[in-house]
Chain A
Amino acid sequence: MEAIVAEDVHFSYDGLQPVLNGVSLVVRTGEVLALMGENGAGKTTLVKHFVGLLKPRRGRVLVFGVDTREATVAQLARRVGMVFQNPDHQLFAETVEEEVLFTLRNMGVPPHEARAICDAVLREFDLARYRDRSPYSLSVGERKRLALASVLSYDPDVLVLDEPTAGQDYFNKSKIARLVNGLKRRGKGVVVVTHDVEFAAQVADRVALMAGGRVVREGPAAEVLIDAQAIAAARLTLPQIPAAAAILRERGVKLSRIPLLPGGLYAEVIALLDGGAP
């Protein structure tokens, strides 16, 4: 189902220098879309349009059929949850528990339900033992999880995660990847803004590459993330598996296709060892 539709969106902060130059993009539920590109490509500016924090100067953005210009951010946030890059910009309550309850209260969840939801979310994010502590006393990784938890608590249909893996260690990164996959299985739409090609390879169904305020390439992750030219044009580097496959091909190893994930490469190599084409 089409959740967010951006149609020919133009935007500039100062009215002079364009940041978005006619972006058209669809976000669907039950799917993970990775938005990638170098710094300044317009990724964060674009996702801010998805909750109405910014309104297009030209073109329009529809969130479940509602034009973002006709709704407040708080109204749109009911359907689209946005988690910012820096958790310190989002946390302010006295305790971890209140941090989650704050969002639930804003979203009109009745008190007895809110308690139960808060307990469940804090357990899910491994934060239950900190419930009475100040959010500022948590570690960076924990603060990031709390920021995520406070938005996920009210169960929006679409989640926008801005650089969810920035500053996270490998262990937490895989945890976030599992979380994103879990959200997708529950039918949520997930937009991930990221530079991290390996993370995108792990979680994304679809990838949109941005450069100079435009979407320069969009398609299934398994096609876009192995396209060396498009990846280079967006100033990213190939993920390791397609890069390894490319090296093998250069050395004359006949692969039937360029795989994106380790399993794919493994299958190719096994087929070769078994003799002949897979």
Chain B
Amino acid sequence: MSSVLDVFRFRRKNTPLHRLDPRAKFAILVLFSAASLILNDLASLLLVLAAEVALLAVARSAGEWLRSLKGLSMLVAMILALNYLTLPSNRLFTALTLALRFICLTTAFSVFFLTTAADELATALEASGLPREYSIMFTMSLRFVPSLARDLQTISDALRCRGLELEKGGLRTRIRNYTYLLVPLIVYELRRSLMIAEALEARGFGALKRVEPYVELRLGRADYAAIATSCTLLALTVALRFTSLYEAFVRLQLSIFGEL
């Protein structure tokens, strides 16, 4: 559980990607996720993934990504199997493409979240005009994902200690067992969120309509370069995607897969 969520957990490192302004990284995120969504073939998506992995390597975070991929493998296998079994034609090609698209998308987000601290993100969101209530809500929900995973682990530990066999049983038993897990989790998190809300207010949150940011975000040369490159590549991808050349490229791949 926690390994899956690790994809999105920020770790402080000093790499060119970590130093980039969060808005520049957001541009990269938009590029990659848009490309993953509009490209509809195996080869192009592989190219997207390769670019993402290259960035992860620059950010010295490929290890974390790889580990989390292991956790996602079940989901990927499910996407692959369900599509392969239900599609009318080009089953293998399309199933592989869809599974790869899922990997590309999660990788795009993990490039962003692995290299962007929550407070940086909040500053960027506020700089682009989002009210502070919302930016705090957003960063807090990110901040509490690992806590949630840890709480879930503790609750399941406690239940197992009271003799519940969480690992065994048929589907119905398992579903029932999950309700045992969810009730304390929801109650606990609700209690905690109320406590945090009180703590925030006690520390003066919301007392002023507008607060001055302490950190001024400034776009540097590298940031402008990243944003410009992302925009150009995105425009190029969109333009190429709707040409007959792309159609021919897809047909070529389909012919390789043949009847599979």
B240 interface contact, C-beta 8 A: no
A203 interface contact, C-beta 8 A: no
Taken together as a complex, chains A and B put the C-alpha atoms of A58 and B157 apart, in Å, by 22
Q: A53-B160, A90-B158 are in contact. List 12 more A-B contacts (CB 8 A).
A: A72-B160, A72-B165, A73-B160, A77-B160, A77-B163, A84-B157, A88-B184, A88-B188, A89-B151, A89-B184, A106-B164, A107-B163
Determine the chain B residues whose CB is within 8 A of the CB of A84 once the complex forms. 154, 157-158, 161
Taken together as a complex, chains A and B put the C-alpha atoms of A77 and B164 apart, in Å, by 10
B191 interface contact, C-beta 8 A: yes
Taken together as a complex, chains A and B put the C-alpha atoms of A3 and B184 apart, in Å, by 31
Asked if B163 and A103 make an inter-chain contact with CB atoms under 8 angstroms apart, the answer reads yes
- Among residues of B, the one whose C-beta sits closest to the C-beta of A107 is B163
A91 in contact with B184 given A53-B157, A84-B154 (CB within 8 Å): yes
A266 interface contact, C-beta 8 A: no
Which among A53, A86, A88, A151 is the interface contact of B162 at CB below 8 angstroms?
A: A151
Which among A73, A91, A103 has the highest number of chain B CB atoms within 10 Å? A73
Asked if B165 and A74 make an inter-chain contact with CB atoms under 8 angstroms apart, the answer reads yes
- Among residues of B, the one whose C-beta sits closest to the C-beta of A104 is B163
Number of A residues, CB within 8 Å of B: 25
Determine the chain A residues whose CB is within 8 A of the CB of B191 once the complex forms. 88
Asked if B163 and A89 make an inter-chain contact with CB atoms under 8 angstroms apart, the answer reads no
A213 nearest CB across to chain B (Å): 20
Determine the chain B residues whose CB is within 8 A of the CB of A103 once the complex forms. 162-163
Inter-chain residue pair count (beta carbon < 8 A): 65
Which among A88, A91, A107 has the highest number of chain B CB atoms within 10 Å? A88
Asked if B167 and A72 make an inter-chain contact with CB atoms under 8 angstroms apart, the answer reads yes
A145 interface contact, C-beta 8 A: no
A92 in contact with B160 given A72-B167, A84-B154 (CB within 8 Å): no
B183 interface contact, C-beta 8 A: yes
Asked if A89 and B162 make an inter-chain contact with CB atoms under 8 angstroms apart, the answer reads no
Which among B158, B184, B191 has the highest number of chain A CB atoms within 10 Å? B158
A198 nearest CB across to chain B (Å): 27
**Could you give, for residues 73-95 of chain A, a 1 whenever the CB lies within 8 Å of some chain B CB and a 0 otherwise?**
11001100110101011111000
Asked if A89 and B188 make an inter-chain contact with CB atoms under 8 angstroms apart, the answer reads yes
**Could you give, for residues 41-79 of chain A, a 1 whenever the CB lies within 8 Å of some chain B CB and a 0 otherwise?**
000000010010100000000000000000011100110
B187 interface contact, C-beta 8 A: yes
Considering only residues 159-190 of chain B, those with a C-beta below 8 Å from chain A are 159-165, 167-168, 180-181, 183-184, 187-188
Asked if A74 and B151 make an inter-chain contact with CB atoms under 8 angstroms apart, the answer reads no
Taken together as a complex, chains A and B put the C-alpha atoms of A77 and B191 apart, in Å, by 29
B155 interface contact, C-beta 8 A: yes
A78 in contact with B163 given A48-B157, A84-B154, A90-B158 (CB within 8 Å): yes
Taken together as a complex, chains A and B put the C-alpha atoms of A77 and B157 apart, in Å, by 11
B172 nearest CB across to chain A (Å): 16
Taken together as a complex, chains A and B put the C-alpha atoms of A77 and B162 apart, in Å, by 7
- Among residues of A, the one whose C-beta sits closest to the C-beta of B188 is A88
Determine the chain B residues whose CB is within 8 A of the CB of A125 once the complex forms. none
Asked if B162 and A106 make an inter-chain contact with CB atoms under 8 angstroms apart, the answer reads yes
Asked if B167 and A89 make an inter-chain contact with CB atoms under 8 angstroms apart, the answer reads no
Asked if B161 and A73 make an inter-chain contact with CB atoms under 8 angstroms apart, the answer reads yes
Taken together as a complex, chains A and B put the C-alpha atoms of A226 and B17 apart, in Å, by 54
Taken together as a complex, chains A and B put the C-alpha atoms of A154 and B181 apart, in Å, by 21
- Among residues of B, the one whose C-beta sits closest to the C-beta of A93 is B183
23 A-B residue pairs with Cβ-Cβ distance under 8 Å, sorted by A, are A51-B160, A53-B160, A72-B167, A72-B168, A74-B163, A74-B164, A74-B165, A77-B162, A81-B161, A82-B161, A88-B187, A88-B188, A88-B191, A89-B158, A89-B184, A89-B188, A90-B155, A90-B162, A92-B159, A92-B181, A92-B187, A102-B162, A150-B162
